[in-house]
Amino acid sequence: MTLEPVDYAIISQALIAAAREMGAKLVRSAYSTVLREARDGSAALLDAHGNTVAQAELIPMQLGTIGHIFQPCARLYPVETLEEGDFFAINDPYSGGQHLQDVFLFHPIFVDARVIGFAASVAHHLDLGGGSPGLNPLAADVYAEGLIIPPMKWNMRRDWHGGNFERLLRANVRVPHQTMGDFDAQMAANAIGAVRLQELAARYGVEKLTAVMAALQDYSEARMRAAIVQVPDGTYQGEDWVDDDGIGEDTLPVRATLTVSGDRIAIDFAGTAPQVASNLNAPFASTISAALSAVKAALTSPDIPFNAGAARPISITAPHGSLLNPRHPAPVRARMEACFRAWNATMKALSQAVPDRVVAPGFDTTTVGVLSHLDEDGWSVYLEIYGGGYGATAQSDGCDAVDGPLSNCSNTPVEALDQDFGFFRVLEYRLRPGSGGDGTHRGGLGFLRRFEILRDGVQLALYSDRFRTRPQGLFGGDPGGTGHCEIQRGNETIRLKSKDKVPLRKGDVVTLAVGGGAGYGDPAGRDPADRARDAAEGYVNVG
């Protein structure tokens, strides 16, 4: 059918608004700090074939591949066989998922007994079983990381609210009050998406709505291609490094080769380290998300809807058996570090082609710190996600103390932690002056949090990166600072590795420090006024 431009504009904006409402309600009705405060979840509307049409822009990492994760479900349970109340659930990294904690739910949306699309949501669940609360840094394989949900079909009436699937989940999680509440928030987000799509179908007709869902993907594709055409043809390479696998000392290279030809980009990660025995492996879906996000952020204006169309001009490959495409059943919980290096390597490759569009490497690390405690009332689990300083660009200093570019988690207010947890107290939360690399524009600052442990029997689990390898500057900029984690126990200082798990004692003081971003351009070119301001405000170490 022919689509009036104005109908197309109106309906497509309504689809984006509906996805945004889904995301807002997912977060606002959630229970765990990781979803409600850190907002580690996403939501989307898909067409009847499972292609992403519109997404709530919450977490870039989860946004790249919702559609890919849908396909294994539809292969097992064809769309035309679905009934009212059915839904798909999946978290298996080896069936298109990312890590087990991200559980994806897909609800078909019916109009006149026909599926016109799907409502999708994903949330990072605080605990999904496995060898240790919230995070098991010692997992040797994916089985030790939590409950695996292969592509499955369930039904709301039969399997939720006291039904099979809900009871299975409830029996496998340590903090069911929070986890099951978060699943309800996902269900609610999908229900809202379904109602909004049905309203649009009633207002404009299924045929027009379906045409717009296709056109919106074509639109994102057209804008992505228009942006890629601006990049000079050629082959470009970039490399960055993960500190180590948490067991040995060897740095793990991540290498991107980017080939631009006309309106297409191919990204290949050949030359990247082989997969490792610890949980730092990134499932291929995660690698795709990371690389797509880098291209989108560097080349396009932020208002392009990130949907299946935006991904069409970009092909991504990584050797099977590598850190970025591991073989089953390698553990994958801490996938973000390798993903961030894939992002950095892609960005560095792009820096050779379009130096004014890119960002220098930032701290660009997901640091997950978990403090947990078991008492007579059950488990109490506090998980927080830390970013660091951003890298600088040709136009600007890097942003201080903010979540990394593939993520967008908020902090938990200290006063909320004071209310919710009695087994530790935050003593300090501050910027780290001098942690940003110097340059014509300087890198953003890292920050630290310091905790006093108030009970015996508390456990600390941690994964992070860039404790040893600093983010390298671009075009003469200085590198950014590293991170660290240490325990002060009386007169003794215990340094932790970037991937670690330790028992704590009452009176311990734990410092978790994240680093800054690298600079962009020769420091000699920095505006003296900016330099004076940094000194006066204490953003750099003086003398």
Partner 1 sequence: MRVGIEVGGTFTDLVAVDGTRVVVAKVPSTPHSPDIGAYAALGAGDIPAAAVTDLVHGSTVATNAILERKGARVAFVTTAGFRDILFLQRHDRRNIYDLRYRKPEPPVARRDCFEVAERIDASGTVILALDAAAVRRELLPALAAGGYDAVAICLLSAYVAPQHERALEALIAAALPALRIACSHRVASEFREFERASTTVLSAYVQPVIDRYLDRFEATLGEAGFRGHFSVMQSNGGRLPAIAMRQTAITALFSGPAAGVVGAIRQAGRSGRGDLITFDMGGTSTDVSLVMEGEPSLAPETEIDGLPIRTPVLDIVSVGAGGGSLVWIDDGGMLRVGPRSAGAVPGPACYGRGGTEPTVTDAHVVRGTIRPEAFLGGTMALDTARAHAAFETVAARLGADIPGAAAAAIRLAVANIVRAIQLVSTERGRDPRDYVLLPFGGAGPLLAAEIADELGVREILVPPNPGVVSALGLLSADFLRVAGVTRRTRLDADTPAMLRDAFATFQAEAAAEFRTLGLAGALDFTLTAEMRFVGQAFEISVALDPADLPRLTTADLADRFAAAHRRVYFHGGEPGRAIEIVGLRFGVLRRLDALPAFHERPIALAQPESVPVHLQGETVTARLLDAARLSAGTAAHGPALIEGYSSSIWVPPHWVARRDEAGNLLMQRIAA
Nearer to partner 1, 301 or 491 (CB): 301
Nearer to partner 1, 30 or 100 (CB): 30
User: How many positions of this chain bind partner 1 (CB under 8 A)?
Assistant: 89
Q: Which residue has the tokens 């010692």?
A: 138
Contact 519, 442 (CB under 8 A): yes
Residues paired with 489 in a beta bridge: 492
Nearer to partner 1, 207 or 428 (CB): 428
- Give the shortest CB-296-to-partner 1 separation in angstroms: 6
Joined together, the tokens standing for residue 243 give: 């500190």
184 is an interface residue for partner 1 by CB under 8 A: yes
- Give the shortest CB-410-to-partner 1 separation in angstroms: 4
Based on the number of CB atoms within 10 Å of its own CB, is 298 exposed (0-12), middle (13-18) or buried (19 or more)? buried
Q: Tell me the CA distances in angstroms from 513 to 368, 383, 429, 468, 490, one per residue in order.
A: 12, 16, 10, 13, 20
Which ranges of 119-263 would DSSP assign to H, the alpha helix?
156-159, 164-172, 176-204, 206-229
**Among 431, 485, 512, 518, which residue interacts with partner 1 (rule: CB under 8 A)?**
431
Nearest CA-CA partner of 239 in 269, 217, 283: 269
395 is an interface residue for partner 1 by CB under 8 A: yes
Contact 174, 381 (CB under 8 A): yes
- Give the shortest CB-336-to-partner 1 separation in angstroms: 15
- Give the shortest CB-408-to-partner 1 separation in angstroms: 5
Considering only residues 67-96, where is the footprint of partner 1 by CB under 8 A?
A: none
382 is an interface residue for partner 1 by CB under 8 A: no
Considering only residues 201-220, where is the footprint of partner 1 by CB under 8 A?
A: 219-220
How would you classify residue 230: left for phi > 0, otherwise alpha for psi between -120 and 50, otherwise beta?
alpha
Considering only residues 447-506, where is the footprint of partner 1 by CB under 8 A?
A: 447, 450
- Give the shortest CB-407-to-partner 1 separation in angstroms: 9
Considering only residues 102-161, where is the footprint of partner 1 by CB under 8 A?
A: 161
Residues paired with 240 in a beta bridge: 254
1 is an interface residue for partner 1 by CB under 8 A: no
Nearer to partner 1, 139 or 299 (CB): 299
Nearer to partner 1, 148 or 417 (CB): 417
**Among 144, 152, 191, 374, which residue interacts with partner 1 (rule: CB under 8 A)?**
191
Nearer to partner 1, 190 or 322 (CB): 190
Contact 474, 454 (CB under 8 A): no
Contact 481, 464 (CB under 8 A): no
307 is an interface residue for partner 1 by CB under 8 A: no
- Give the shortest CB-230-to-partner 1 separation in angstroms: 11
Based on the number of CB atoms within 10 Å of its own CB, is 237 exposed (0-12), middle (13-18) or buried (19 or more)? middle
The Cβ of residue 26 has, within 10 Å, a number of other Cβ atoms equal to: 29
Contacts of 326 (CB under 8 A, 6+ apart): 275, 281, 282, 283, 332
Per-residue binding string, partner 1, 398-417, x by CB under 8 A, is: -xxxxx-x--xxxx-xxxx-
Considering only residues 350-369, where is the footprint of partner 1 by CB under 8 A?
A: 358-359
Q: What is the amino acid identity at position 495?
A: R
**Among 25, 68, 255, 333, which residue interacts with partner 1 (rule: CB under 8 A)?**
25
Considering only residues 315-334, where is the footprint of partner 1 by CB under 8 A?
A: none
Residues paired with 105 in a beta bridge: 89, 121
Nearer to partner 1, 202 or 270 (CB): 202
